[in-house]
Structure 1
Amino acid sequence: MSPGDEHDYRSADRGGRSDDPYSTLGGTRQTRTRLPDSNAGHPQARRPARASRSLVMIVGVVVLLIAAIAFANRGGGADDEGSPGAKGRESAGSAPTAPTGTKPVQGRNGTIASGFARDEQGAQSAAANYAVALGSVEMFTADTRHDIIKATHDPAVVPKLQSDLDAAYSPSFYANVGLEKDGTPPAGLTFVSRTVPVGTKVVEMNDGAATVEVWCTGLVGLAGEGATKPVTGTWFTLTQKLTWAGGDWKISSSSQSEGPTPVNGDNRASTADEMADAIGGYGGFTYAR
């Protein structure tokens, strides 16, 4: 979560539910019930449905299921032209995240991955990992925030950015997200701030610079009984301008836009205790690709 991001990092409209394309019978969420036929007054009762038709339908579904499983499990070598990872980096459109044969980075700058490759894959990896770090709880504490900014940003922009962020993370901002004036959560509650990259896209790239969009979903709020700011989900896209500095990709500037936001599903909202247990039991990711 970024500076003052009550109006930046985590803004997302929550409009009312519209037609649900995934529901039954064209979104009406209704089912049809056929009452049994009666012979009284009807000399010729309705003929029963032919068993052969049902058998054909069942066989068809099974065949489609087998075909889908076979397609999903189809293997291919690193040089297989049919595999998503084999496409050239210059191919048009966004390719799905897939094994490419390149090992994950081994370096660490504090708790943040470092040593990304100087190519499209490396730029996307850096942007995704930096999005996770910049949307973390650690951004709400001055010392750890300073470390994150130094690890993710071009040294040329760090001093001014640090000053701007120190001013942005003010007592009034903390109060707005339900925290105490010093940025700590109220007693008995757990503060949640996580960014989860959903996908990345290289918009522009040359030898020493890249612009990468990171589509994200995020969690922010307080978990626990009596929380006045419950944990909510948001959707947003980060646009990071990266520069090659000191042997790694670093952020020179960034911006955020709302969405794309999917239609809300029918999932039951978890209780405060369930959410607190999940936050404490599931760790976040440090390497996204």
Structure 2
Amino acid sequence: MSDEHDYGEPTGTRVRLPDADPYGGARRPGRSSSRSLVTVVGVVVLLIAAIAFANRGGDDSPSSSATGDTDKPKAAPTAATGTKPVQMKMGGIPAGYARDEQGAQSAAANYAVALGSAEMFDTTRRHEIVETVYAPDVAAARQSALDNAYSSETFLSNIGLEKDGTAPEGQTFVSRIIPVGTKVTASNEDQATVEVWYTSLFGLSGEASTNPVSESWYTTTYQLEWTNNDWKITDFQQKDGPVPVGRDQKASTADDMTKAVEEYGGFTYAR
């Protein structure tokens, strides 16, 4: 099992100290002209597709009505299934997933969000999360390991937090995971292996921060087990990437980052 700050083995957190004025809004170095050309071409393609969709309108041609569903394109792997998302929560986390691949993917995505949240740095809330997402036979051991990790003064100091896991005065701690996609690599009625590709925001937002909020990309593979009428985690492995090429965007100010984190809530993920 790998070490990482996102999922409960935070002793492996990478702390990147900022350059001068981390929130000063410096742009990344300019890209080549070929990069600009690719961007322009991409925008044009999207524009053409949007126009075609807008002008599509109704299709009363015989070919569309006579063939029925046989000529309709098949749903993409990430398309909505039409199944309603979960209607209940346990410990503040969506629960009650379907006993199929769709349910396993939804569970993995939502559990990733919970385990990568800033709430994991609060002892009471951490215990609730672990008891909710882990299978009972592994939750106790995981709880002990997490308590040791999250109470480490060295770890907390390295990421800029106080001894009790709170942010220094005038700063906001950000730890948030945003799943990009999920994939089932193995499954049966009682077990499932699900990969979750996601981007992570982590750091302290504030003018005096020495660990400004930055993004990272990872893929975590979850081993899930059907127990107590729901999917629960029994193990996981994490790896870096896939990592996209960064855009030439101006970094936001500390105030803008703090405001965004406070005003934009997370999602409940369902296939």
The 3 A distance-change label for structure 1 pair 21 and 252 is farther
Q: Kindly tell me the number of residue pairs found equivalent between the two proteins.
A: 241
* Cα distance in structure 1, aligned partners of 2:170 and 2:227: 43
Structure exhibiting the larger radius of gyration computed from Cα positions: 1
Aligned to 2:19: none
The CA deviation string for residues 39-84 of structure 1, in whole angstroms up to 9 with x for no partner, is xxxxxxxxxxxxxxxxxxxxxx89x9555443489799xx676355
For residue 35 of structure 2, the aligned residue among 23, 34, 57 is 23
Query: Match for 1:2: what amino acid?
Result: Y
Structure 1 residue 7 and structure 2 residue 12: aligned? Answer: yes
Work out whether 1:214 is the aligned partner of 2:196: yes
- Tell me the alpha carbon deviations over residues 131-179 of structure 1, each in whole angstroms, 9 at most, x when there is no partner: 0000001001111001001110100101111011111111111111110
Q: 1:121 aligns with which of 92, 99, 102?
A: 102
Partners of 1:132 and 1:286 within 8 A in 2: no
Q: Are the structure 2 counterparts of residues 26 and 124 from structure 1 closer, same or farther at C-alpha, using a change threshold of 3 Å?
A: closer
Q: Distance in 1 between matches of 2:54 and 2:147?
A: 49
Aligned Cα root-mean-square deviation (Å): 3.0
Residue aligning to 1:246 = 228
Q: Percent identity?
A: 54
Q: Aligned in 2, Cα 1:257/1:281: closer, same or farther, shift over 3 Å?
A: same
Q: Note if 1:131 corresponds to 2:119.
A: no
Say whether the 8 Å CA contact 1:199–1:216 is kept in structure 2: yes
Deviation for aligned residue 1:276: 0.8
Equivalent residue for 1:271, pick from 241, 253, 259 = 253
Kindly indicate whether the alpha-carbon contact (under 8 Å) linking 2:170 and 2:206 is maintained by their aligned counterparts in 1.
yes
CA 1:263–1:72 in structure 2 vs 1: closer, same or farther (change >3 Å)? Answer: farther
What amino acid is the match of 2:84? K
1:185-264 correspondence to structure 2 within 5 Å: 185-264=167-246
**Residue number among 142, 149, 171 corresponding to 1:168 in the alignment:** 149
Match of 1:50 in 2: none
> Gapped runs of 5+ residues in structure 1?
30-60, 88-94
Q: Is the 8 A contact 2:15 2:159 kept in 1?
A: no
Residue pair 1:212, 1:239 contacting (<8 A) in 2 also: yes
Deviation (angstroms), 1:236: 0.4
Query: Which amino acid in 2 is paired with 1:200?
Result: T
Between Structure 1 and Structure 2, which shows a larger proportion of helix residues?
Answer: 2
Cα distance in 1 for residues equivalent to 2:144 and 2:227: 21
User: Secondary structure at the residue paired with 2:137?
Assistant: coil
In the alignment, does 2:230 pair up with 1:280?
no
Following the alignment from structure 1 to structure 2, what is the Cα–Cα distance between the partners of residues 128 and 198?
9
Cα distance in 1 for partners of 2:33, 2:181 equals 24
SS in 1 for 2:136: coil
TM-score by length of 1: 0.75
CA contact (8 A) 2:115 2:129 kept: yes
1:107 equivalent among 76, 80, 88: 88
Q: Distance in 1 between matches of 2:169 and 2:90?
A: 32
Give the superposition deviation at 1:213: 0.3
* CA distance in structure 2 between the aligned counterparts of 1:284 and 1:84, rounded to whole angstroms: 30
Contact 1:17 1:263 in 2 (8 A): no
280 and 84 in structure 1: CA distance in 2 versus 1, 3 angstrom threshold: farther
Question: What displacement does 1:222 show?
Answer: 0.6
Q: Does 2:130 match 1:149?
A: yes
Q: 1:172 to 1:255 in 2, by over 3 A?
A: same
Change (3 A) 1:148 1:84: farther
CA positional deviation for 1:111? 1.1
Partner of 1:90: none
What SS is found at the alignment partner of 2:232? strand
Where 1:157 maps in the other structure, the secondary structure is helix
